[in-house]
Amino acid sequence: MRAALPGLVVVLCLLGATACGLTGGTPACPGPRQFYLTKAAVQGNQTLTACAAGFHMASRFEIANLSGVVYDAKRGAGSDDSGAGPPSAAAVYSSSGSMGWIRTGGDARYTRPPDATGPGSANCAVWSSNSRDAYGTVATLKDRFASENGAPALWDGRDERCDVPHPVWCVGDFPATAASEPERRREGRGRRRGLGPDAG
């Protein structure tokens, strides 16, 4: 019986994963996060409020790998051939274009990097400036299938003046997960007994 337990655990985990794949969108099985490119274009100082409720301006690292996110084609910008996916750099005729403001993951910066190999660090002074002398970062999905260093090169980006309007890349907020529920219940019991959340 004891020898069969590891196999039983594996089967139960697989069943749980299958159920999550079928249901999704629940607190226990939140499913993949959605992302989209706004239809409206804004200057660099308006980016942090451009996303819909339940979304926030995306860091490039949140959507760098598209296998963990799903495009919200109803909310987001599209192109003639984007279907249910996002527009790419091939969307040269779309009204809003496929270049969107994106967070860099770096410190406050509004100047261009000293050399052309370092785009992706400017952020309109953490998205507070729309000065023509300040710079931020915009990104687009590439329109080529070629790979770089053995991996698909999905994204391309560049510096952009903060006074030039662009759409914004948005990504869904993390939903509350079932894993955090026991911790909240434990904290609630501690408060009822007059203990703080850090009490042992």
Domain-located, residue 72: yes
Q: Total domain count for the chain?
A: 1
Domain-located, residue 12: no
Domain-located, residue 137: yes
Please tell me the distance from the alpha carbon of residue 80 to that of residue 94, in angstroms, as a whole number.
8
3-state helix, strand, coil in the chain (%, to 5): 25, 20, 55
Domain-located, residue 14: no
Domain-located, residue 89: yes
Q: What is the pLDDT along the chain (200 residues), one digit of tens a residue?
A: 455 545 544 444 444 444 444 434 455 555 789 999 999 999 999 999 999 999 999 999 999 988 889 999 999 998 888 888 888 887 666 555 689 999 999 899 888 877 655 567 899 999 999 999 999 999 999 877 766 666 667 888 899 999 999 999 999 998 654 444 444 444 444 444 444 444 44
The predicted pLDDT at position 36 comes to 97
Domain-located, residue 191: no
Helical spans, DSSP H, in the chain: 5-23, 124-127, 181-192
The predicted pLDDT at position 144 comes to 74
Domain-located, residue 146: yes
Domain that holds residue 146: 30-174
**Sequence-ordered list of residues with C-beta below 8 angstroms from that of 179, at least 6 positions apart, any chain:** none
Domain-located, residue 194: no
